[in-house]
Amino acid sequence: MSESAAILKHQFSKSLGLPWADILPASRLDAILEEEAILSRSRVYPPVVTLWAMLYQALSADKSLRNTVKCITTWLTAAGSQPPSSDTGAYSKARGRLPESLLQRLIPETANRLAQAVSPEHLWCGRPVKVYDGTTVLMADSAANQQGYPQHGNQAAGCGFPLARLVVFFCLITGAVVSACIAPWSMSEIVMSRLLYQELEVDDVAMADQAYGSYVDLALIQQKGADGVLRKHHARKTDFRKGNKNGIGDHQVTWHKPAQRPEHMSEAEFAMIPKTLVVREVCLRLSLKGFRDQRIIVVTTLLDAQRYSAQQLTRLYGWRWPAAEVNLRHLKTTLKMEMLTAKTPQMVRKDIWAHLLGYNLLRSLMEYAAPLADDARTQLSLQGARQHFNQMLALLAIATRATSKRLYAHLLESIAFDLLPARPNRHEPRVVKRRPKSFPRMRQPRAVLKAKLAA
């Protein structure tokens, strides 16, 4: 490793890597690089420096390669070293060399280690809960991206953006991303989530909305030794007069395996699903100030009505929106992942993994700051954490050990005291006040429109 690379590795470890000093120390990261057979040559951007630079890029307000290279040249100059060229070519090639498998592997690595530090008293009924949902992201309109992630079918050729679908599993307590799946938008969220069930652990509780509340989903979750809490699919009817009653609006019934095999499953996989499944259907009452109470039905494999009462299930399902929908909004809006500028599918996926990893980094900071805020995790601001962290990075990179310790303590205090206002049952109309510009929509490829202007 060159002298400049060694300096950058040290500076990134002192600044960007500080929240992961225990979760992902330098020794563990080096071991992972060795396990992945990622070799490092004597260059400015070895794999470990490239990894930290990509995380810095994901967390920055300016996500351009130029801004990241300027940060690197500035830090090297401050350390008294000869900075490399400000051209982005070397960094761009280093991003291309970094294996996607490394970024993907670090997601569960960091999330699981962060979850292990959570006190059992903060778990729901002593069980770890994982909440999942899906969304889509856009990317640069290049030929390679269009081939790998075609645009939506209702858009004219050359007038849309390539579109990728993303399904993410979040940890309920820490909010960190545990696992994720990326595919073209034509692949169903249901199929993608069933691939991710393989990463569930024994004793996990998986929670999702009614799109996933089917027999196959509950059976696949139970096969992993986990339990599901899913809102009942709208196509399935419920009659609380039947089955073994646990109380009003709470009973156990036997579901039967569907006769038709899902297209994405092989005959062998479908044969492994049990022919019957005992599930519990519970009617939950969700209250919203100013509105009539809403009643929904969830289906679950948690059959113990004493330990997992209807009140406990209501409390759990009430966390689904902030744990899934709001966290997806953080990824797409706060971290600006909704529109990616990479020109190839490989780099698009790397950018997504880098954003998920950067998000986990912020969640680690918030988890360490939570005890200072009386464990008010839901009131900690992810945007505030990102802003405070970005302001500290340059100082942490060149600070002495004593100064670094003092700055980090101040950082955690700033995050803990920058609380969001408590707004229970907040309800806002989903409308846009700002009027759009009067320009017409693009309905022909850009080359055709430019030719018309030149004619």
Q: What is the pLDDT of residues 322-358, one digit of tens each?
A: 899 999 999 999 999 999 999 999 999 999 999 999 9
Residue 93 has pLDDT above 70, yes or no: yes
Q: Is the pLDDT of residue 291 over 60?
A: no
Same domain, 310 and 207: yes
Residue range 298-314: mean pLDDT, rounded: 95
- Confirm whether 403 is domain-assigned: yes
Helices (H) and strands (E) in the chain, counts: 17, 10
Contact 7, 81 (CB under 8 A): yes
Based on the fold, state whether residues 79 and 122 are members of the same structural domain.
Answer: no
- Over residues 159-186, the pLDDT tens digits come to 899 999 999 999 999 999 999 999 999 9
Q: What is the per-residue pLDDT across 203-233, written as a single tens digit (0 to 9) for each? A: 999 999 989 999 999 999 999 999 999 999 8
Looking at the fold, whether 310 and 360 belong to one and the same domain comes out as: no
- State the average pLDDT over residues 39-64: 90
Is-contact 252 243, C-beta < 8 A?
Answer: yes
Q: Give yes or no for a contact between 102 and 34, defined as CB atoms under 8 angstroms apart.
A: no
| Per-residue pLDDT at 183 | 97
Residues 278 and 186 in one domain: yes
Structure confidence at residue 3 as a pLDDT band (50, 70, 90): confident
pLDDT(237) > 80? yes
Taking residues 269-297, what's their average pLDDT?
Answer: 85
H or E stretch including 219? helix 215-223
Mean pLDDT across 147-169: 93
- Phi/psi for 286 (5° steps) reads -105, 125
Domain that includes residue 379, residue range:
3-101+344-417
- Which pLDDT value is given to residue 43? 77
Residue 251 has φ and ψ, to the nearest 5°, of -150, 165
Task: Indicate whether 29 and 151 sit together in one domain.
Answer: no
Residue 370 belongs to a domain: yes
Asked if residue 378 is part of any domain, the answer here is yes
Q: Are residues 151 and 289 in the same domain?
A: yes
Q: What is the DSSP string of 182-193?
A: EEETTS-HHHHH
pLDDT at 310: 93
Q: Which ranges of 15-121 would DSSP assign to H, the alpha helix?
A: 26-35, 47-59, 65-78, 89-97, 100-116
What gap in Å lies between CA 311 and CA 316, rounded to an integer? 9
Q: Kindly indicate the confidence band of residue 158, based on its pLDDT and cuts at 50, 70 and 90.
A: confident
Domain total for the chain?
A: 2
Beta bridge partners of residue 250, listed in sequence order: 247, 282
Q: What integer best gives the mean pLDDT of the chain?
A: 92
| pLDDT for res 424 | 67
pLDDT bucket at 2, cuts 50 / 70 / 90: confident
73: confidence class by pLDDT, cuts 50, 70, 90: very high
Please say if the pLDDT value at position 37 is more than 90. no
Q: How far apart are CA 91 and CA 44, in angstroms?
A: 9
Average pLDDT over every residue of 112-126: 92
**236 shares a domain with 377:** no
Q: Note whether 142 and 80 are same-domain residues.
A: no
pLDDT in tens, 7-27: 999 999 999 999 999 999 888
Is 158 inside a domain boundary? yes
Is the Cβ–Cβ distance between 252 and 230 less than 8 Å?
no
Residue 190 placed within a domain: yes
In which region does residue 427 sit, left (phi positive, over 0), alpha (psi from -120 to 50) or beta (all else)?
A: beta
The model's pTM is 0.94
What is the rounded CA–CA span in Å between residue 196 and residue 183?
12
385: CB partners within 8 A, 6+ apart:
362, 365, 366, 369, 415, 418
**Predicted pLDDT at 102:** 94
Task: Work out the pLDDT band at 299, boundaries 50, 70, 90.
Answer: very high
Alpha-carbon gap, residue 218 to 199, rounded angstroms: 15
Give the percent of the chain with pLDDT over 70. 97
**Same-domain status, 259 and 327:** yes
**Domain boundary pick from 331, 361, 379:** 331
Please check whether residues 140 and 246 belong to one and the same domain. yes
